[in-house]
């Protein structure tokens, strides 16, 4: 698949790619494999490009290996040439664990190949198996590099809603507690002074005598971060079978994402409505 772009300033072709935070090795590979055309001419590392120049890129040389597919209908929230946002259902892995091929990524691949887009899709962040809501995918290596840079530098805002046991006191605040592995339980984490820095902000939206609906934003991105923080404060998420005691569906929903679009370089935000089953009867 060829991505066609219009350059917007005078610069070298290397600087054009560097704006997307693409690794130098990948820039070199694209240019030495004649994968980049500028106004129909094969680009070299020293070539200058100018406003309104037409740049065509074939990503085959730097794309990952062959992808797998899963015929599963995905709920698409937004799509353009660079990004895809999906509303993830519960019970589906984002990436294969080596055993399961029925993953959200493979469902995205199936959807894209039906549209004659055979490049791999790249998930920018992860959600736990039972967590639902917004997941962001990059549709080409340039978008991947740009969004991954934002993720690594904590420039992507990720907001969640959760239904938890009890009522927070205070009703809003910042949880700044390190998180590390629980050595006694596989795939389990805990608050630990020796762990990695983890910061979560929270705001109570609704509450009754038994439960609260809480909005949370993760400033860092540790595994199970919201679940661990809330459980440590004795407000585990309803349905959390690892860090809580209640049964049923995990009531944790990825509601909103904000980031810089890799193509336009402008801030964009996407927000889903809070699921009805998360809303509380405040008379209880």
Alpha carbons 150 and 152: distance in angstroms, whole number: 6
Residue 273 annotated to the active site: no
For 99, 129, 196, the CA distances from 89, given in Å and listed in that order, are: 20, 9, 29
Terminal CA-CA length for the chain = 56
- β-strands 252-260, 132-138: how paired? parallel
Q: Is it true that the peptide bond before 170 is cis, omega within 30 degrees of 0?
A: yes
Q: Which of 53, 82, 128, 240 is catalytic?
A: 128
Strand partners, 257: 158, 270
Q: DSSP character for 60?
A: T
Q: DSSP character for 181?
A: E
Strand order in the sheet with 54-58: 2-6, 54-58, 36-38, 41-42
Q: DSSP character for 76?
A: E
Overall size of the chain counted in residues: 284
How many C-alpha atoms does 231 have within 13 Å on its Cβ side? 21
**Residues that are catalytic:** 128
């Amino acid at each position: 698949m060829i991505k066609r772009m219009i350059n917007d300033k005078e610069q070298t072709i290397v600087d054009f790619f560097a704006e997307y935070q693409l690794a130098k090795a990948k820039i070199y590979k694209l240019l030495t494999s004649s994968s980049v055309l500028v106004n129909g001419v094969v680009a070299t590392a020293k070539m200058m490009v100018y406003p309104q120049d037409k740049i065509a890129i074939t990503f085959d040389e730097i794309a990952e290996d062959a992808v797998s597919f899963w015929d599963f209908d995905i709920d698409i929230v937004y799509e353009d040439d660079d990004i895809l946002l999906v509303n993830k259902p519960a019970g589906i892995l984002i990436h294969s664990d080596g055993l399961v091929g029925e993953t959200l990524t493979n469902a995205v691949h199936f959807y894209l190949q039906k549209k004659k887009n055979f490049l791999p899709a790249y998930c920018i962040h992860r959600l736990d198996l039972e967590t639902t809501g917004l997941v962001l995918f990059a549709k080409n290596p340039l978008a991947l590099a740009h969004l991954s840079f934002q993720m690594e530098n904590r420039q992507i805002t990720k907001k969640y809603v959760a239904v938890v046991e009890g009522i927070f006191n205070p009703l809003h605040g910042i949880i700044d507690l390190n998180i590390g592995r629980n050595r006694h339980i596989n795939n389990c984490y805990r608050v630990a002074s020796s762990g990695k820095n983890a910061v979560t902000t929270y705001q109570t939206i609704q509450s009754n005598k038994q439960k609260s609906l809480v909005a949370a934003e993760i400033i860092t991105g540790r595994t199970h971060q919201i679940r661990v923080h809330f459980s440590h404060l004795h407000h585990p998420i309803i349905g959390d079978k690892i860090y809580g005691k209640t049964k049923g569906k995990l009531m944790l929903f990825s509601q909103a994402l904000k980031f810089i679009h890799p193509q336009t370089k402008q801030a964009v935000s996407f927000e889903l409505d809070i699921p009805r089953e998360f809303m509380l009867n405040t008379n209880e």
